[in-house]
Homo-oligomer: A and B are copies of this chain.
C-alpha cells in the first residue's frame, strides 16, 4: 500500500464543496471515483481543508492510499484523464509516509479572496471573484484587517455549523493589496473556523464601503457574538491556495 499526496486545483462552481454529500457533486467523490476507476480499489480521499460549495482551490493538498503499484507520472496522468469533464486537476502527486495525513499533519493554510472593485458586471471572471461596485477604501480595510491578527476568540466569525473544538485561533496573516481593478485579501493561519475567511472578508467589505469604521471591526471581534457579524462574503471569490506541512 502506498499513501499518495496529491495537489489539486478545481473550479468550485459545480461542486457542493470538498466533502462528499448526498445531495450533490463533491470534489472528494470525483477524486475517489477517478482513483477507483483507475485501480479497481475502494478509495477514500482526505483533504487539508473541507471548503464550502462554490469555493475554488489553486493548490489543495489531499491524500489517498492505493495498493496498486504506480509511478507518480502515471497516477497523475491517469487521474486527470478520468476526472474529465469535472473541473478538477491533479497538479502534482508524490508518495508519502503511511502516517502522513493531509488534514492532521497540516501546519498552515493559506487562502486568497478576490474582490473585483468595478461597476461593470463580470464576464471572464464571473463566479471567480466578488464584484463590489462602489470604490473601496483600501487603507481603512488594511487598518481593520490588522485588528484581527494574532490569537483571538473568533466566535463572531464562526458559522453555527462549525465543528472546531475551540473558537480560539491564531491568525498569522490578513492583508489586502490592490491588483489592477481587484483587491486581493490574503489570509493565513494554522487552521480556520468554518466560514471564518468569508466572514472576515464580508466585514472588511463593510469597512471598505464606509459602513463600518476600522474600530467597528475590533468591537465585532471583542463581542464574541455571531449577531455582531456583518455578513459572509460569497464563495465565488475564495481560493484555497496552499497547505503547509
Q: What residues of chain A have their CB less than 8 Å away from a CB belonging to chain B?
A: 9-11, 56, 58, 76-77, 80, 83-84, 87-91, 118-124, 126, 128
A124 x B120 contact (CB < 8 A): no
Contact A87:B128 (CB < 8 A) given known A80-B121, A119-B76, A120-B80: no
A9 x B120 contact (CB < 8 A): yes
Q: How far is the CB of A58 from chain B (nearest CB, A)?
A: 8
User: Of B76, B80, B87, B121, which is within 8 A of A124 by CB?
Assistant: B87
B128 x A84 contact (CB < 8 A): no
A124 x B56 contact (CB < 8 A): yes
Q: How far is the CB of A202 from chain B (nearest CB, A)?
A: 22
Q: In the complex, A83 Cα to B118 Cα: how many Å? A: 17
User: Of B77, B90, B118, B123, which is within 8 A of A87 by CB?
Assistant: B123
Query: Which of chain B's residues has its CB closest to A123's CB?
Result: B87
A9 x B123 contact (CB < 8 A): yes
Q: In the complex, A76 Cα to B77 Cα: how many Å? A: 46
A-B contact pairs, 17 of them (CB 8 A): A9-B120, A9-B123, A9-B124, A10-B123, A10-B124, A56-B124, A58-B124, A76-B119, A76-B120, A77-B119, A80-B119, A83-B121, A89-B120, A89-B121, A89-B123, A91-B118, A124-B128
User: Of B11, B76, B77, B119, which is within 8 A of A123 by CB?
Assistant: B11
Q: Using Cβ atoms and an 8 Å threshold, which residues of chain B touch A80?
A: 119-121
Query: Which of chain B's residues has its CB closest to A83's CB?
Result: B121
Q: How far is the CB of A73 from chain B (nearest CB, A)?
A: 9
B121 x A84 contact (CB < 8 A): yes
Q: In the complex, A71 Cα to B180 Cα: how many Å? A: 26
